[in-house]
Amino acid sequence: MRLPTPRGPLSDLVVGLLSRPVATDAVIFPVRDETRPDDEAITLWMLHELHYRGFEDVDEAWEWAPALMPLRHRLERNLERSLRRRFADGRPGRPGSPDRDVVADIEAVITASDGRSLARHVQRHASREETLHLLRQRSIYHLKEADPTTWVVPRLEATTKAALVQVQYDEYGVGDPARLHHELFARGMAASGLDRDYGAYIDETLLPVLEQNNALSMFGLHRRLRGAALGHLAVFEATSSVPSRQLAQGLARLEFPDAMVEYYDEHVEADAVHEQLVLHDVCAALVAAEPDQHDEVLFGAWTCLDLEGRTADALFDDWDVA
């Protein structure tokens, strides 16, 4: 993957830095008043991607270069503050008991969500062009899929860790490289006439999609955000099975190739199983062992739905769908 096209002065500066040998001196970056949200978002995405597969035109030593750490800290702090502010403003009411059931609270967050459904639109109404647009946007996440959550594994105790690894093992194809979920998506992309290369569509990625990916990476990379990472995963799995069926039906309606339909068919059954594992054996186990993680789990759960709703709104606006 090559570096993305800059979207403003901040990302332009970082692209220029990453194109050169690793800097040892401090760098002065533009202040927030001089940047736009998408400029900050693409910059943070680049900094996070140094921890995944990197960029073919970037020295791997940039991953932990001290010159970049203050900027990454600033951008993550801004993103987290924004997410927590929206969580505080939008979360449903919660019982006052210290013995609250985290599974019931996650389910309440899901029930309270009333965003428009991209999957239902694809199932019934979307054009082929709209669906291709959606797949290109989704590729930024689906071509890495389980990787952000894998960073959480060493931060957990035995019971929670074992349950999470069981979910991750499924995501990684139960040992078969051809069955990795991100490989299934890549094959579906190629069969549909799309570029299957990791990050191929980053230059057209919408701001809410960048925020989704940045939040997941941030949750996974910070031990203190382990509860948020698992809450996000719980809601993602709990709200995936039915939409996956709808997407599979919509893709079949539009005569997409079997390889693309297969990706979503795989998630209909798998995510129904994962939902129960993540809710009860991961999140409930984490909160039982670490009660202070209860609200962090709910923060991650709410954030998953908030960012998904913003992504849906942005796509429906692009498509001029009321």
What is the DSSP annotation of 238-293? HTTHHHHHHHHHHHHHTT--HHHHHHHHHHHHHHHHHHHIIIIIIIHHHHHH-GGG
Q: How many CA atoms lie within 13 A of 313 on its CB side?
A: 10
Query: What pLDDT, on a 0 to 100 scale, did the predictor assign at position 95?
Result: 45
Which residue ranges make up each domain of the chain? 9-87, 99-319
The predicted pLDDT at position 97 comes to 44
d(CA 259, CA 276): 27
Contact by Cβ (8 Å): 224, 299: no
Residue 49 and residue 55 in contact, taking contact as beta carbons nearer than 8 Å: yes
Report pLDDT digits (tens) over 168-190. Answer: 999 999 999 999 999 999 999 99
pTM for the predicted model, two decimal places? 0.94
Amino acid type, 179: R
Quote the pLDDT of residue 215.
98
Q: How far is CA 105 from CA 90, 110, 159, 163, in A?
A: 14, 9, 21, 20
State the pLDDT at residue 271.
67
DSSP for 190-246 reads HHTTS--STTTTGGG--HHHHHHHHHHHHHHH-GGGHHHHHHHHHHHHHTTHHHHHH
Kindly report the number of other CB atoms within 10 A of residue 80's CB atom.
Answer: 19
Between CA 80 and CA 221 the distance in angstroms is 13
Other C-beta atoms lying within 10 Å of the C-beta of residue 24? 8
The separation between CA 310 and the C-alpha centre of its own chain, rounded to angstroms, equals 13
Residues (pLDDT < 70) of the chain are 33, 92-99, 271
The pLDDT of residue 164? 96
Using CB atoms within 10 A of its CB, is residue 164 exposed (0-12), middle (13-18) or buried (19+)? buried
Question: Do the beta carbons of residue 252 and residue 225 sit within 8 Å?
Answer: no
* Percent of residues in the chain assigned helix, strand, coil, to nearest 5: 70, 0, 30
Q: What is the pLDDT of residues 1-46, one digit of tens each?
A: 999 999 999 999 999 999 999 977 778 888 776 779 999 999 999 9
Q: What pLDDT does residue 96 have?
A: 41
Residue-level pLDDT at 23: 79
Number of C-beta neighbours around residue 255 at 10 A? 8
CATH domain 99-319 topology: Heme Oxygenase; Chain A (1.20.910)
Provide the 8-state DSSP code for 32: G
Residue 65, token pair as written in the block: 């270069």
